[in-house]
Structure 1
Amino acid sequence: GAGAPGVGSWGLRARTMHPAAASRPAAWRSGSLPRLLLSSAARTLLWLGPVYLAGYLGLSGSWVLLGLALWLCWGHNRRWKRDRLAAAFALLEDEREAVCRGLAARHLPAWVHFPDVERVEWLNKVLVQAWPYFGTILEKTFKEIVEPKIRAKNVHLKTCTFTKIHFGEKCPRINGIKAYTKEIGRRQVTLDLQICYVGDCEIHMDISKFNLGVKGIQLYGTLRVILEPLLTDAPFIGAVTLFFMQKPHLEINWAGMSNLLDVPGINVMSDSLIQDFISARLVLPNRITVPLKKNMNIAHLRFPIPISSTQFSRLVRVSV
């Protein structure tokens, strides 16, 4: 009873509202007009600020136009990276539908083109199930191993701190595997893995109050895995050797102050530096060898001696 008159009076006021007042924007009636005006004024000042500063310093208007062009190119690069990341996520969600739609050949997995490349969906399911545990291990590795090493590199990096480390829900995917057994010796197995990683990882790092970060990575490449030598006792494999056959395709979606790396001119240099860093460690002839058995001499695995055509033919005959 007590609340009914209020409801009724409100309904009466709504019905008797002047037509001109009813036609006004909702922002006017809700009292948020001052906030909208302030926001519009702030945006206007933000746009006019560089122009005023250029005039105050006596700079030519061409500098303003150059800055505007760079800002527009930077925004275009950022949107292009986000769109490519979203498209890659859509492809991972439903690979079968993407293949049926007839995507460009360079986007199709290797098993579509080459009959000797096998699909390994069971392995991808294992990776999906185990990825949260791998992510936890990687987060611990970044905090306990990578962070101290970065701080020890330079006195200016002593304040380096990882503020957020999250490897996301999307795990690496293997689009196909090609195994070599006849073309090599009997004491090894060689696998070529078509790696595809479209990650929603997010890593942020603070250095002297500057926030640097990564928010999304795309990586495509052929990773060769060599299991050698094969043993007659546990763990049955002496060591694992890893390397990329060629430079992998890499795209990084930056965050924080790292967004400056997407500025035209700088983005080409930064991408080249990252590619060179990967090549110096993971691209043939460079390789990573991890021993699985104690007291295993891996020098000849890390730096193998090239074999002649005669020796290669002998290996093929022995394996057959």
Structure 2
Amino acid sequence: MGLLSGIFMGVIFGVSLMAGWQHMMRRRSTKRIAKAADMKILGSLSRDDLKKLCGDNFPEWISFPVYEQVKWLNKLLSKMWPFVADAAELVIRESVEPLLEEYRPPGITSLKFSKLSLGSVAPKIEGIRVQSLKQGQITMDIDLRWGGDPSIILAVEAALVASIPIQLKDLQVFTVVRVIFQLAEEIPCISAVVVALLAEPEPKILYTLKAVGGSLTAVPGLSDMIDDTVNTIVNDMLKWPHRIVVPIGGIPVDLSELELKPQGKLTLTVVKANSLKNMEMIGKSDPYVVVHIRPLFKFKTKTIENNLNPVWDEKFELIVEDKETQAVIIEVFDKDIGQDKQLGIAKLPLIDLQAEANKEVVLPLLASLNTLKVKDKKDRGTVTIKVHYHEFNKEEQLIALEEEKRILEERKRLKEEGVLGSTMEALDGAASLVGSGVGMVGTGIGTGVGMVGTGLGAVGSGLSKAGRFMGRTLTGQSSHARKSSSSSTPVNSVQENDGAKPL
């Protein structure tokens, strides 16, 4: 009897224990699910939302990193850097040297690398952010920092001056690189890569220039010329919306959607300027205005002599590629013997403009758009402009692209005939130091139209073999052909512009 009762009590106790354990696990699972739901809700809250909920009890250690850290990638890059640097040096020589030749300022007859070594310090990736994951495409922003130890020496030749070796020291790069991967179904699963530097935050390339065994004063303004050349290349070729488009793996694919296209046309009238700063010892300044959206596509007004309140009332048409990020730049110069002097500069962001609406704007002239460089705080006067933005339809966009091809072919022909030297000389029309690339284009460029394309020609065998540059097709051209092609430039007839000369 005792044995039976013991077995019965044991069974009852075991069943009760199992039932209790099951109940406890079910309750624990319910709590976990509830906590997971709460955490999911909290995870969707921003820092500001959490601060409102927590008030003064908000812990400081909570952070929401915009960029994901990739320490593993930095370690890998550090070990691979000697091999990456060797390959990069070859590509830079083949692709950047032709750019230096194309963009060299007037007054410099040759600008090449005498020595190029990227050093032993690899760039550091501060973080990576996946911007979007839309169908067939991945957009990624890479926060890049480089304070390396490269050895870069430029061989600079100027008129009547022997070659001067200029060393770039203390080079530092701070920028965010946007990379777009176009996906494909075939291996390697990526059909093309788009690379560009984001305009915000502003890319920073810091360095100091030192003449090796000589002095920078041998060529007046040489340091500023090199700075302008570097800034022009970055702004006109690498900063978004401009980009490099490189096909990958030889997969035939339509890359037209990735390419840079004309978006609209800005009709700009330079009306007048008031209270300009006088730069002359005797008499008054002889002002003229240069306007552009991209550094290489400039228009110049006529010069009005001996006047600090000039009235031009001249109209120009400029192509817009990305209204949200681009701006029109207005520079006022004093025509002078030798180097023209800048009287002031102004900037109007295009994002502020409404399509098909006329707008008159009075802009204060500044000593520089870089406020960190401004030392002269004196009033430089104002410039008055009228603007009208027209957004292209598909047909107008195609017309602009065709016009671009025509201008590129014409410029290529003129360069092959020796009429044009570098792109900057083509804009300037002179080999003397005339300041910031202003002047007139050779009359052989042609007459004509207000629409202009926005492409750049072939700029180096390294990138040309890779595929597409600046959203334009690059083929395996000969070195002479690559050197001959260059950016398109706005072309208006001098007669149609009442004497105004396109740059």
**TM-score, normalisation: structure 2:** 0.33
Q: Which has the higher strand share?
A: 2
**TM-score, normalisation: structure 1:** 0.50
